[in-house]
Amino acid sequence: MIGKWKRAICFLITSLLWLNIPQKIEASVSVSASSAILVEQDSGRILYEKDAFTKRRIASITKIMTAILAIESGKLDETVKVSERAVRAEGSSIFLKPGEKIKLEDLVYGLMLRSGNDAAVAIAEHVGGSIEGFVYLMNKKAEEIGMSNTHFANPHGLDDHEDHYSTAYDMALLTRYAMMNNKYREISGTKIYRAPNPDESWDRIWRNKNRLLTEMYEYCTGGKTGYTKRAKRTLVTTAEKDGMNLIAVTLNGPDDWNDHIQMYEMAFNLYKLAEILPKGTVKGVRNSFYKNNLYLNHRVVFPVTEEEKDKVRVEYKLIKPDKKWGKECGVPYIAGKAIVYLDEKIVSSQPIYYRIPEKKDESFFDFFRNIFTSVIGVKSNG
């Protein structure tokens, strides 16, 4: 029962990340890719897009999903026995041998840095019980994080199924979700990895295929390359400069390295992160009951251009205090929300919490009863 609630809460939180994304700002960017998108990671704001919602084949950027599922499985320290089916996978390989034993974590590095299709199959069989079982998990996760125009049919992206596709937007969704995981960020941003090879006198050394990360763009922090004859070149990368984190995706991009650099340079030059609301006590609340007792549990930042700074405003919507409330009891844990507008469009909505003074005689049950009451909206007039 607890597991079901946990999954539901995670799904709700993830869904809220992409609510009310404003329209993109048109910018003088020309990319070679058939589909492209640039997103600011923390807010989810789309800074540039070109045909980003069209379904296309995605090749090996599929492996972002394979990697995050392997990481979230909690099995990275387990040993995987490589099957014949894994070794027979076509295309790019880390040259696994049938029957060899290798740590799941090492397989994920081989998957992301060298795009090993054999690693993808080995991961799928170990985490999902079979390729088919793992594909079910892939599509389940895609549904949970809102990838509504995506369907996975394999763990590697090879052109062996007709119903394996996604969009630039959905792949940005997936990457934003994956980048919240510390282990994924670490693996995605690794330039060289040494994997133990107990059956040989030498270790495996894998160099990342992502040239933006290894040589071309100093602000690149990670990503995944892809190519098949039908999908052509696909690429997902991430970059960070002056505290602003960006995600770029291109599908069928013959000049994808330069496409990504061009999008990044446009955004870093045009946009700056503005702190709209600081973490901590909410100031400017006039209601005497709530004054100095409300807080945000994290700050709200948003990328804006110089021209947009004066178009940002914040509105507080609070539950009307009940006469029966006391300062230390009865008040919902979530007292309202802070809504951020840009040019009169909602760009962020954050819960506002009531700071309840500590009471030694308050029980564990009473505390969570307050939380539950606020969540389901009891005594709330919105």
Residues annotated as catalytic (active site), given as ranges: 60, 63, 115
224 is in an annotated binding site: yes
What DSSP line would sit under 286-354, residue for residue?
Answer: --TTTTT-EEESS-EEEEE-GGGGGGEEEEEEEPPPPTT-BTTBS--SEEEEEEEEETTEEEEEEEEEE
3-state secondary structure of 200: coil
CA dihedral 84, 89, 93, 98 (to 10 degrees): 0
- Judge whether 144 and 215 are in contact, CB under 8 Å: no
CA distances from 40 to 4, 48, 158, 312 (A): 31, 10, 29, 17
Structure-token pair, residue 195: 């994997």
3-state secondary structure of 53: coil
Measured between alpha carbons, how far is 353 from 297 in angstroms, rounded to an integer?
8
Q: How far apart are CA 209 and CA 93, in angstroms?
A: 13
> Which sign does the torsion angle of CA 86, 89, 92, 93 carry?
positive
**Interatomic CA distance for residues 219 and 266, integer angstroms:** 13
Contact of 67 with 187, CB cutoff 8 Å: yes
Cβ atoms < 10 Å from Cβ of 281: 13
Q: Residue ranges for the binding site for substrate? A: 224
Which residues are known binding-site members? 224
